[in-house]
Amino acid sequence: MTDKTKVIAVFHSGYGHTKVQAEAVLAGANSIEGIDAELMEAAEAANNLDKLDEAAAIIFGSPTYMGTVSAQFKAFMDASSAKWMAQGWKDKIAGGFTNSSSPVGDKTGTLQTLSVFAAQHGMIWVGLDLPPGNNSTSGSDNNMNRMGASLGAMAQSLADQGPDMSPPNADQETAHYYGARIARAALRWAA
Ligand SMILES: Cc1cc2nc3c(=O)[nH]c(=O)nc-3n(C[C@H](O)[C@H](O)[C@H](O)COP(=O)(O)O)c2cc1C
């Protein structure tokens, strides 16, 4: 038994890049006192939906494949319809993150899919409150939120770099910040 507030990040990663982002989200969430955060692979979560009932916040993460979530993540989404029927995750805090190889790469489509998914479950979506990090002459690719997202956390992993090199620190710091934000929101919402 723990009296800590549970945060679970459900993610899929085909080649390991989004997993790096998920681990940064996890570390950010666990950096907040009173939070017990963990990762769940989407396939595992699809087969263990009740585990997610314990969470005050669920963060959804998927690579952007063909402008939306991966098929593997979508399988989890479809499996969750059993919870949707009973609105079992209603009023939980929700957030989302995605990673792709192009700077834009149609990542917004993925975050929109995740936010609509959360809304269908009656969840409370929390966006990213960081200003754009690279939209002026004083900004650079080294700044947090260099992708300039608001709906959730974005990362870019260059197509010819492995997960040992990509996504870069700025995107991992963004994910860490976002995980902490979701954790704080969960604590406040659950109070
Ligand atoms: C099937 C497939 C579709 C993809 N579609 C996109 C896309 O729409 N936009 C983009 O920028 N990158 C796209 N990519 C590149 C991935 O998003 C990128 O390689 C990402 O880092 C993969 O994350 P992962 O290692 O967690 O699977 C695609 C890759 C695959 C395998």
> pLDDT tens for residues 113-153?
999 999 999 999 999 999 999 999 999 999 999 999 999 99
Q: What is the CATH number of the domain that holds 66?
A: 3.40.50.360
Cα(12)–Cα(125) distance, rounded to whole angstroms?
Answer: 20
User: Among 13, 19, 65, 172, which is best to mutate for testing ligand 1, by the most ligand atoms less than 8 A from CB?
Assistant: 65
Going by alpha carbons, the residue nearest to atom 20 of ligand 1 is 100
Q: 76 is in which domain, residue-wise?
A: 5-190
In sign, the C-alpha dihedral spanning 64, 164, 142, 102 is: negative
The number of angstroms, rounded, from the C-alpha of 54 to the middle of its chain's C-alpha atoms is 18
35-92 pLDDT per residue, tens:
999 999 999 999 999 999 999 999 999 999 999 999 999 999 999 999 999 999 999 9
Cα first-last separation, the chain = 19
Q: Measuring CA to CA, how many Å separate 85 from each of 109, 139, 162, 188? A: 25, 46, 40, 27
Spacing, Cα 109 to ligand 1 middle (Å): 13
- The residue whose C-alpha atom lies closest to atom 3 belonging to ligand 1 is 65
pLDDT for the residue numbered 190: 83
Ligand 1 pocket, CB under 6 A: 13-18, 63-67, 99-102, 105-106, 157, 159
* Assessment of whether the complete model's pTM goes beyond 0.85: yes
Give the position, in ligand 1's atom list, of the atom nearest the Cα of 21: 26
CA torsion sign, 13 to 15 to 20 to 21? negative
How many domains does the chain fold into?
Answer: 1
